[in-house]
Amino acid sequence: MENSILEVKNLKVDFIMDGERVNAVHEVSFKLGKGRTLGIVGESGCGKSVSATSIMRLLPKINTIVDDCTSIKLDDEELTTLSDKEFQKVRGNRISMIFQEPMTSLNPVYTIGKQLIEMVQSHQKISKKDAFETCVEMLEKVGIPEARKRMKEYPHQLSGGMRQRVMIAMALVCNPEVLIADEPTTALDVTIQAQILELMNKLKEDTKTSIILITHDMGVVAEVTDEVMVMYAGEVVEHDDVKEIFHNPMHPYTIGLLDSIPKLNQNTERLLTIDGTVPTLKNMPKVGCRFADRCHYCQDLCRTESPALKKVGTREVRCHFAGNLKAKEDK
Amino acid sequence: MGRYVIKRVIQAIPIFIGITFIVFMLSNMAPGSPIDIIASSAGLNAEQLQALKEAYGLDKPVLVRYFIWLMGIFQGDLGVSTSTNVPVATIIGQRIGASLTLSCTALVFSIIIGVFLGIMSAYKPYSIWDKVSSVFAFIGSSMPSFFIALVMIYIFAVKLKWLPASGMYGSGAKDLANLVKHLILPAIIVSMQSIGGYIKQTRGAMLESINEDYIKTARSKGISEWAVTIKHALRNALIPIVTQIGLSVPYIVGGSVVTEQIFAWPGIGSLMVNAVNTFDYNMIMGITVLISIVVLIVNIVLDVVYAYLDPRIAAEA
Amino acid sequence: MNEKVKKPSAFKEFYKKFIKHRLAMISLFIIIIEILAVILLPLVLNLDPYTCTTSYDAAPGAEHLFGTDTIGRDMFSRVVYGGRTSLLVGFAACAVSVLIGLPLGLIAGYYRGTAEAVIMRTADIFMSFPSMILTIVAAAIFGSSIPILIVLIGLLHWPQPARLVYGKVLSVRKMEYVEAAKAEGISPFKIILKYILPNSIAPLWMSMAFMVSSDMITESSLSFLGCGVKTPMASWGNIVYNAQNIVVLRAYPWEWIPAGVCLIITVVCINFVGEGIRDALDPKMKR
């Protein structure tokens, strides 16, 4: 693998809920290669957003504990030991983030220009005029027509797709090494979704920024990512190149996710779904596989022993029976 | 923006007419008008009474009289004070400065303290700031200001002799230092009731805007937490805070009536109490009209401030 | 059908939460004691708030528990009778404003259109004008006997209940059970009474205590200015009026402090009960 830009090791995040300490993310480790796109996939509540936001240190401090053994390295520089003040120089500048809700993610009382310029000026010593020009250029890059005019407009004057383009422009205007996109297309219309994904693909080529794309949509993953990390209940369950995963999913959960993509060429009567829901943070099984309750292949061993993350070639998979699944008789 | 202001001014006109009409009608219903007093004391017969009414224009229908009175207001003629025989406008002119001094000081004071405490308690929930603020807010809404005023006079003027108990300058020099000394106690009393409202409103608005998505965006930009709080959260919270200013102005004006009376502050409020006790209806009407004009102007100004603070409002209009 | 929204269990749940609010329970207890005291004490003890004795400005003692005032009236009796007035005006005026504001809020919210515009705009005007001034003017014109004061204060404070109810009705009227009732052809009057009212009244319950305490403060401020309850009638406000005389303020604290302290305790307790009610009805509001 080419040298990595972001290396996360043993990311462990706990929340304090009603005075009780519950685990939200457990031993998540991954490397993000330079210029690559990593998709983190899973249902809502699987810890994918928490992992990403904790890398950005955007979780509320009051009820969040990030474990000490966690290590996050950006270009070989340890981030977890930085003070909040030092980390501010990283946030937005070297790692930036875009969010799910373009309609509410921009401050309604400031112009687009003001919000973009704020981003540039908080990380670069640059005159307002130069910052303005930089931002106009960036807006043009993300495909916003009449960028100069748009700079003076307020968010409510723009459509959802346009706002998400502005968010992308804002995230990229400081040329970050890593962009974290948290469900960037979920709130948008399908046609707009395609445009935004296409834009992200194009920008990746141009800027060489590495991307972490968080999504629940396997279709989106197939379209833009190089590798996939599937998460379930706060744990990584499978991680490999996108082609490998689609070609040969090994974890029962990944298989379930792939089966639930609607396919045009197949004549299935109804979509396959995964029964049940993700266990809530408070009801997380203490022993055994966290996916056991919903698994079609569940055996006795799965109930008594937590599976470790196994290496099978380039594949990482967390299942006792990976590559050797037997369907249960009666399910 | 210009059109927006004009629209607001036009909307204020019916309200002004409504208030003045109610006041005029109320005064008309009042017993013990000067005519009645003259009539009963001089024992006038019906004819003489009629002549007297004609002389004062009281024989005309009430709507016509209201109209005449309203026209007079626009020319600055508020009638003559029946208790002192001096034009109402003249007396109000002498007194309004004192009232504006007190009300504006109290307003500014309560906004500064209230908004500051509100921000601090939202910025650091459950901290000492938060506790102090909630005590403040509770006191403001639970304390009868007149009693607190007397207690403060008792402590600071009678016992400790730190501050004067009454008047605007007292017998001292008419300079700023003397004014400030006289202003402290009444200004605290008038602002006390409003501070709680500002704290609650600011805290609530801040906590709400801090949970908005755009705050997460602002944080992700790598600007300082203080800049996030002030530039992004507070800037949005200003909109409900301005609403609170609109709500607190009537309380400050009403509260100064009581406070001016206690501290013998030579303003409109104590003038009002005097007028009521001497059945000086021209004066009562004059003051009420004046207050309604002030209230309407304040509301128009606030509407303009709204439009300035929230670009979406001006766009709708 | 959804019509039984005020199920007995809802009240039970409220009760269970409310009794856990210790401050509110203590306050409620104090208020009940106070109400009993102002009703029962004059019946049990021989209290006379009106007769002028010859002991002027007497300090508190065995004969006069709270001393006497400048014209020799027994201060304890006056404070008890003043409590009668202040509590009565506070609760009754609140009832008046609810009686006026509640139906207006229901009508404005349910019918929308012209009714809404007229009612809510009028409420805005009332809210933006200092009600203290209007009350003083009205009390000067219509007199200031206790019944008139109750009506005046209640009348001038109607916009608050109206707004609270109106705000809730706007969301309730869109509920499916209201739509269903309309489709069944039930008369608007019945819909408002049976479906809208029970589901829109919660915000009013939450603020009622605060309205009572603010009405009490209004009454006492008016009486303090000499524009409300007038002597020889007693009210906590007009007892404190004594202290506008600098000699009384300075030398005879028993002539004004007990009444003021009673007023503060009452208002504070009512507000605590109000917070208890609010927290029990809406846990989200808790701070």
Residue C53, min C-alpha distance to chain B (Å): 27
Nearest CA-CA partner of A115 in B314, B202, B228: B228
The confidence score (pLDDT) of residue A115 equals 93
Cβ-Cβ contacts under 8 Å, C131 against chain B: 250, 254
Q: Do B236 and A108 touch (CB under 8 A)?
A: yes
Render chain C in DSSP notation, one character per residue: -----S-HHHHHHHHHHHTT-HHHHHHHHHHHHHHHHHHHHHHHS---SS---S-TTPPS-SSSTT-B-TT--BHHHHHHHHHHHHHHHHHHHHHHHHHHHHHHHHHHHHH-HHHHHHHHHHHHHHHHS-HHHHHHHHHHHH---HHHHHHHHHHHTTHHHHHHHHHHHHHHTTSHHHHHHHHTT--HHHHIIIIIHHHH-HHHHHHHHHHHHHHHHHHHHHHHHTSSS-TTS--HHHHHGGGGSHHHHHH-GGGTHHHHHHHHHHHHHHHHHHHHHHHHH-GGG--
**What is the identity of the amino acid at A208?**
K
Residue B246, min C-alpha distance to chain A (Å): 21
Cβ-Cβ contacts under 8 Å, A122 against chain B: 221-223
Find all residues with CB under 8 Å of A300, minimum gap 6, and list them.
none
Q: Do C130 and B251 touch (CB under 8 A)?
A: yes
Cβ-Cβ contacts under 8 Å, A154 against chain B: 311-312, 315
Question: Which pLDDT band, with edges at 50, 70 and 90, does C8 fall under?
Answer: low
The confidence score (pLDDT) of residue B187 equals 93
Question: Which pLDDT band, with edges at 50, 70 and 90, does C284 fall under?
Answer: low
Cβ-Cβ contacts under 8 Å, C260 against chain B: 144, 147, 150-151
Residue C212, min C-alpha distance to chain B (Å): 11
The confidence score (pLDDT) of residue A227 equals 92
| C37-59 exposure pattern, b = at least 16 Cβ within 10 A, e = fewer | ebeebbeeeebebeeeeeeebbe
The confidence score (pLDDT) of residue A270 equals 59
Any C CB within 8 A of B11 CB: no
Mean pLDDT of C139-154: 88
**A223-257 tens-digit pLDDT:** 889 999 999 888 899 999 989 988 888 888 888 88
The confidence score (pLDDT) of residue C287 equals 40
CA atoms within 13 A on the CB side of A31: 11
Residue C41, min C-alpha distance to chain B (Å): 25
Cβ-Cβ contacts under 8 Å, B222 against chain A: 87-93, 122-123
Residue B280, min C-alpha distance to chain C (Å): 10
Residue A312 backbone phi and psi in degrees, to 5: -125, 95
Q: Do C221 and B144 touch (CB under 8 A)?
A: yes
Q: Do B310 and A123 touch (CB under 8 A)?
A: no
- Binned average pLDDT, 10 residues per bin, chain B of 317 residues: 80 83 79 65 73 72 85 84 86 92 93 91 82 83 87 89 82 81 91 88 89 90 88 90 88 88 90 86 87 86 87 71
Residue A166, min C-alpha distance to chain B (Å): 12
C194 pLDDT above the threshold of 70: yes
Q: Indicate the residue of B142, B246, B258 with minimum beta-carbon distance to C224.
A: B258
A297 pLDDT above the threshold of 90: no
In order of B99, B250, C225, the CA distances from B276 in angstroms are 18, 19, 10
Give the neighbours of chain A: at least 3 Cβ pairs within 8 Å.
B
The confidence score (pLDDT) of residue A329 equals 47
The confidence score (pLDDT) of residue A267 equals 60
The confidence score (pLDDT) of residue A327 equals 60
Residue A69, min C-alpha distance to chain B (Å): 24
Q: What is the ipTM of this complex?
A: 0.83
**C100-127 tens-digit pLDDT:** 999 999 999 998 889 898 898 888 888 8
**A57-104 tens-digit pLDDT:** 888 877 888 888 888 989 888 998 898 889 999 998 999 999 888 888
**Tokens found for residue A3:** 């040298």
Q: What is the mean pLDDT of chain C?
A: 85
Rg (CA), chain C: 22
C7 pLDDT above the threshold of 70: no
Cβ-Cβ contacts under 8 Å, C132 against chain B: 253-255, 257-258
The confidence score (pLDDT) of residue A139 equals 92
Looking at per-residue confidence, does B315 or A312 come out higher?
A312
SS3 A216: coil
The confidence score (pLDDT) of residue C3 equals 45
Give the neighbours of chain B: at least 3 Cβ pairs within 8 Å.
A, C
A272 pLDDT above the threshold of 70: no
> For chain A, what percent of residues have pLDDT higher than 90?
25
Q: Do C129 and B273 touch (CB under 8 A)?
A: no
- Choose the mutation target among C225, C238, C252, C271 for the interface with B, i.e. most B CBs under 10 Å: C225
B43-52's contacts with Cβ under 8 Å and 24+ in sequence apart are none
From B294, which residue of chain C is nearest by alpha-carbon distance?
C129
Cβ-Cβ contacts under 8 Å, A56 against chain B: 220
Phi-psi region of B57 (alpha: psi -120 to 50; beta: other; left: phi over 0): left
Least confident of A171-185, A271-285, B120-134, B147-161: A271-285
The confidence score (pLDDT) of residue C148 equals 92
> For chain A, what percent of residues have pLDDT higher than 70?
95
From C217, which residue of chain B is nearest by alpha-carbon distance?
B144
Q: Do C130 and B299 touch (CB under 8 A)?
A: no
CA atoms within 13 A on the CB side of C93: 32
Residue B231, min C-alpha distance to chain A (Å): 10
Interchain CB contacts (distance < 8 Å): A and B: 74
Q: Indicate the residue of C125, C217, C256 with minimum beta-carbon distance to B15.
A: C125
The total number of residues shown for chain A amounts to 331
A331 pLDDT above the threshold of 50: no
Q: Do B217 and A105 touch (CB under 8 A)?
A: yes
Cβ-Cβ contacts under 8 Å, B309 against chain A: 109
Question: Which pLDDT band, with edges at 50, 70 and 90, does C242 fall under?
Answer: confident
Residue A250, min C-alpha distance to chain B (Å): 36
Any B CB within 8 A of A169 CB: no
Cβ-Cβ contacts under 8 Å, C214 against chain B: 141
Cβ-Cβ contacts under 8 Å, B305 against chain A: none
Any B CB within 8 A of A56 CB: yes
The confidence score (pLDDT) of residue C31 equals 94
The confidence score (pLDDT) of residue A211 equals 92
Q: Indicate the residue of C132, C243, C249 with minimum beta-carbon distance to B257.
A: C132
